[in-house]
């Protein structure tokens, strides 16, 4: 047995996730990709196995696993050629309710999220006009008696058609009336089932990979005041609190992607014979694979350092951001190598390389783009002047 597996506290989880993923081979994802379909059966299987509830504490019906276990689950899903983007948010968005929700909200939602009875997959932050400049978002929630009336628009709200609830960030005090632009934003739990057709419209966006992402429109959509999370005006802080977990988990998916591309490259480089010998005998083929492997292992170390600090409740913004960037870069380097190793066959759908290539590219842009990570490191780690 590999020494790393012996010392890995989550080796058993990885093994079980591998078995589950084996039921969803490339052919399954290829068909969905063609139809831009949602992997309902795959998400159902993960839900039934309890994986999507990994981070929910036992008192609310989950197994209360540490974030490193969630990381192992998502990494393995991607390492096996599957795609966690269909459901990863169910794991971590609930953290906002767990940390900042009222006791009633926790009792009402978390146990049902743990069983999968309620899907909290949608996260409405990004808007078309403000983009990365989150505090300039325009969606406004106006308090009227015992409810809020919401107007505005979100874009790239992934899984909106496959979620019962959405965590929504909206302005509740105009930007020009707050001391700091980060104030006056609030977080709401929106019951999308009740709102659909009553002020909420969802419109899917066709993208280069199968991601089930949407734009959504709010036209006098009402949200009960009891669905406000925490205090009005402090929502931006609540969302930021969840960012490190999100970065580390997405980084884990990219590590899994890199491992998939590397394994696929190695296998093909051994099997494919040209000029009477395996192509992997050529340094021009083996060196890029070896380099991609080294890059992946370096990124993996950063992910593990971030996870360890997160679990020790130490500040880990630096590690979480760098891990996300390095892992996305490592996945992309491995993806490039995989294409080059496969030559023309990389472009044939049945090899799954081109599909994974399209899927892996996203993580240099979302959920945070590389430039913004570099801006974070410049300002918060190196003490350089803020650039925006």
Q: Which residues bind ligand FAD (CB under 6 A)?
A: 123-126, 131-132, 156-158, 207, 211, 213, 362, 365-369, 371-372, 375, 387-388
Closest distance to ligand FAD from the beta carbon of 126 (Å): 3
Whichever of 128 and 343 has its CB closer to ligand FAD, that residue is 128
Closest distance to ligand FAD from the beta carbon of 35 (Å): 17
Give the residue from 123, 121, 374, 388 showing the smallest Cα distance to 239.
123
- Chain residue whose CB lies nearest ligand FAD: 131
Contacts of 173 (CB under 8 A, 6+ apart): 183, 184, 233
Closest distance to ligand FAD from the beta carbon of 363 (Å): 10
Closest distance to ligand FAD from the beta carbon of 268 (Å): 28
- Please confirm, yes or no, whether 246 is among the known catalytic residues: yes
Closest distance to ligand FAD from the beta carbon of 130 (Å): 7
Q: What are phi and psi of 280, to 5 degrees?
A: -65, -5
- Gap between the Cα atoms of 125 and 241, Å rounded: 14
Whichever of 300 and 359 has its CB closer to ligand FAD, that residue is 359
- Gap between the Cα atoms of 309 and 293, Å rounded: 24
Q: In sequence order, which ranges of 136-185 are alpha helices (DSSP H)?
A: none
- Gap between the Cα atoms of 303 and 363, Å rounded: 15
- Gap between the Cα atoms of 256 and 78, Å rounded: 5
Helix, strand, coil in percent for the chain, rounding step 5: 60, 15, 25
Contacts of 334 (CB under 8 A, 6+ apart): 257, 258, 259, 261, 262, 265, 292, 293, 295, 296
Give 289-295 contacts, CB < 8 A, sequence gap 24+: 289/262, 289/265, 289/337, 289/341, 291/333, 291/337, 292/258, 292/261, 292/262, 292/265, 292/330, 292/333, 292/334, 292/337, 293/262, 293/334, 295/258, 295/326, 295/329, 295/330, 295/333, 295/334
Closest distance to ligand FAD from the beta carbon of 52 (Å): 16
Whichever of 156 and 332 has its CB closer to ligand FAD, that residue is 156
Whichever of 130 and 151 has its CB closer to ligand FAD, that residue is 130
Candidate list 246, 300, 318, 354, residue with the active-site label: 246
Q: Give the catalytic positions in this structure.
A: 246
């Amino acid at each position: 047995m590999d020494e790393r597996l012996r010392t890995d506290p989550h080796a058993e989880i990885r093994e079980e996730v591998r078995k589950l993923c084996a039921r969803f081979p490339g052919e399954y994802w290829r068909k969905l990709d063609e139809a831009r379909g949602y992997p309902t059966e795959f998400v159902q299987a993960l839900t039934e196995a309890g994986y999507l509830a990994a981070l929910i504490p036992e008192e609310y019906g989950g197994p209360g696993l540490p974030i490193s276990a969630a990381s192992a689950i998502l990494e393995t899903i991607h390492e096996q050629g599957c795609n966690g983007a269909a459901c990863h948010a169910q794991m971590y968005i609930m953290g906002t309710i767990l940390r900042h929700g009222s006791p009633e909200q926790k009792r009402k939602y978390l146990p049902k999220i743990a069983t999968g009875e309620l899907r909290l997959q949608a996260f409405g932050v990004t808007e078309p006009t403000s983009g990365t400049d989150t505090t300039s978002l325009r969606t406004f929630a106006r308090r009227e008696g015992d409810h809020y009336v919401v107007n505005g628009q979100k874009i790239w709200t992934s899984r909106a058609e496959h979620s019962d609830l959405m965590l929504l960030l909206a302005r509740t005090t105009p930007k020009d009336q707050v001391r700091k632009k980060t104030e006056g934003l609030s977080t709401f739990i929106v019951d999308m089932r009740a709102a659909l057709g009553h002020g909420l419209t969802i419109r899917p966006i066709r993208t280069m990979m199968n991601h089930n992402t949407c734009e959504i429109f709010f036209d006098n959509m009402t949200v009960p005041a009891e669905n406000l999370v925490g205090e009005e005006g402090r929502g931006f802080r609540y969302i930021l609190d969840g960012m490190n977990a999100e970065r580390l988990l997405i980084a884990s998916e990219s590590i899994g992607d890199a491992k998939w591309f590397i394994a696929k490259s190695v296998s093909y480089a051994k099997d494919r014979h040209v000029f009477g010998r395996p192509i992997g005998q050529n340094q021009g083929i083996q060196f890029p694979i070896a380099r991609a492997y080294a890059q992946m292992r370096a990124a993996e170390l950063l992910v593990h350092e971030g996870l360890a600090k997160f679990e020790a409740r130490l500040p880990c913004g630096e590690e979480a951001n760098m891990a996300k960037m390095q892992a996305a870069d490592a996945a992309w380097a491995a993806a490039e190598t995989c294409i080059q190793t496969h030559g023309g066959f990389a472009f044939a759908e049945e090899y799954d390389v081109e599909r994974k290539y399209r899927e892996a590219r996203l993580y240099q842009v979302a959920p945070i783009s590389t430039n913004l990570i570099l801006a974070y490191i410049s300002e918060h780690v190196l003490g350089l002047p803020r650039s925006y």
